[in-house]
Amino acid sequence: MQELVNRAKELLANGTVQRVLGWKAGDMAYNPEPSYFESEADLSEFVYDAFCGANLSKYMIEASKKEGKTLVFLKPCDSYSFNQLLKEHRVDRDKAYIIGVGCKGKLDIEKIKKEGIKGIESISGIGMEDACDTLKIGTLYGDKECSYQDVMLERCHVCKGKDHVVFDETLLESRDTVDSERFHEVEKIEKMSPEEKFQFFQKELSKCIRCNACRNVCPACSCRKCVFDSTKFDSAQKANVDPFQEKMFHIIRAFHVAGRCTDCGECSRVCPQGIRLHLFNRKFIKDINEFYGDYTAGEDINQEAPLTHFEFSDREPNEERG
């Protein structure tokens, strides 16, 4: 981590960048927050560890409007989001100095708590220099341990890979974290009967409180004004008054990011109700791959996006799968 701080200090000092966008240590072991650092002194609070899951690429939309360059730290998966934003002209490549940082898999505090660990005072084993196999957790109710792999964010189990797709330089090594099949969950649902599918999603979505965290954290949902906030479709909603509205919101949100979603997993990470929102986006990704050939949003900014492109021989909408 110190390497990151040192490099940031250098780049600030030599005037390459005006500010640094990274993570600031929180008041708990697990809640660092995205933050700007304007000076060397500020950087004393810089942190980069297993809880820095937040994807900083979306902050670059605002940073692109600021004077001078911003140094931003992007994890491999974050770099896809940045690239996608670049493709959509939402960020300015010239305003960004990108350090691609390695990643050993980010942790999900909710999963730690699900293991029955509460009153957390300290967590060790979360640094980039650590082995990432066991976490030692000091709590008000005694010392606990849990496996690093078990409490990783869902997205890290199906990681896109260790390579950054856009960067000026890279620092720190990444680790292989994949231990699941990316579309396994989606396939499981696809195999259910219509009734089972309906019940599954009805239950899952009934938790939605329409806090919009999924939308607002999403780098693809970067509209200045969302259709669900505007009068454009007579579709403004502030609450899910009826189960239909839960579906409407999540279907349309997924549709709007279809072909643009990099599967960064932020939606699922931030949902206060633990709704597995990636199940929507990943369904579209799976369909797109299956129907129109493999496509990874954000991978190549020159590639035609699946929904703004077509082939004469595309499948018909009524066609049965298979």
Partner 1 sequence: MPLTENEFRPKIVAFCCNWCSYAGADLAGSSRLSYPADVKIIKVPCSCRVNPMFILRAFEKGADGVILCGCHPGDCHYSTGNYYARRRMTLLFSMLDYLGIEKGRTRVEWVSAAEGVKFSQTMNEFVEKIKSLGENVRLGDLRCKN
Partner 2 sequence: MQRIGVFVCHCGSNIAATVDVKKVVETVLSEPGVCHAEDYPYMCSEAGQMKILEAVKEKKLTGIVVCSCSPRMHEATFRKAAERAGLNPYMVEIANIREHCSWIHKDMEEATKKAVILARAAIAKVNLNTPLQAGESRVTKRALVIGGGIAGIQTALDIADAGYEVDIVEKTPSIGGRMSQLDKTFPTLDCSACILTPKMVEAAAHEKINIYTYSEVDKVTGFVGDFTVDIRKKARSVDSAKCTGCGVCQEKCPSKKSLNEFNRGLNTRSAIYTPFAQAIPNVPVIDRDACIKFKTGKCGVCEKVCQAGAIDYNQKDEIITEKYGAIVVATGFDTIKLDNYDEYAYNQSKDVITSLELERIMNAAGPTKGHLERLSDGKAPKEMVFIQCVGSRCSDNRGKSYCSKICCMYTAKHAMLIRDKYPDVNVTVFYIDVRTPGKNFDEFYRRAVEEYGVNYVKGQVGKVAPLPNGKLLVQGSDLLDNKQILKEADMVVLATAIEPEASVRQIATMLTASIDTNNFLTEAHPKLRPVESPTAGVFLSGVCQGPKDIPETVAQAGAAAVKAIGLLAKDKLTTNPCTAKPDELLCNGCSQCANVCPYGAITYEEKEVNDHGIRETRRVAQVNGALCQGCGACTVTCPSGAMDLQGFSNRQIIAEVDAICR
Partner 3 sequence: MYQIAKNDLPALFRKISETKELYLPVRVADQVNFAAYTEDADVSLETLKTVKSPKDAFFPQSETLYTCHKEENKLSITPEELQNQEFVVFGIKACDVKGIEVLDKVFLSEPVDTFYKARRDHGILVALACNEPEESCFCKAFGIDCTDPKADVATWLVGDFLYWNPLTEKGAALTDAVKELFAEADDSAVQKQQETTKAIVEKLPYMDLSLEGWNGDVLTEKFDSPLWEELYQPCLACGTCTFVCPTCQCYDIKDYTTGSGVQRYRCWDSCMYSDFTMMAHGNNRTSQMQRFRQRFMHKLVYFPANNDGMYSCVGCGRCVEKCPSALNIVKVVKAFQKEGGDK
Size of residue set near partner 1 by CB under 8 A: 48
- 14, 173, 197, 201, 296 from 105: Cα distances, Å: 32, 11, 31, 28, 20
Nearer to partner 3, 121 or 300 (CB): 121
Residue 70 in contact with partner 1, rule: CB under 8 A:
no
Interacting residue with partner 1 among 190, 236, 238, 304 (CB under 8 A): 190
Stretch that binds partner 1, among 142-150, 155-163, 262-270, 300-308 (CB under 8 A): 300-308
Shortest spacing between CB 293 and partner 3, in angstroms? 33
Shortest spacing between CB 28 and partner 2, in angstroms? 35
Stretch that binds partner 1, among 29-37, 51-59, 169-177, 311-319 (CB under 8 A): 311-319
Nearer to partner 1, 30 or 280 (CB): 280
Size of residue set near partner 2 by CB under 8 A: 23
**Would you state the structure tokens that stand for residue 299, as one six-digit string?**
């991978």
Interface pattern 245-284 for partner 1 (x via CB under 8 A): x-xx--xx-xx--x---------------------x--xx
Residue 308 in contact with partner 1, rule: CB under 8 A:
yes
Nearer to partner 1, 187 or 300 (CB): 187
Q: Which does residue 304 touch among partner 1, partner 2, partner 3, none (CB within 5 to 8 A, set by kind)?
A: partner 2
Residue 15 in contact with partner 1, rule: CB under 8 A:
no
Nearer to partner 1, 113 or 315 (CB): 315
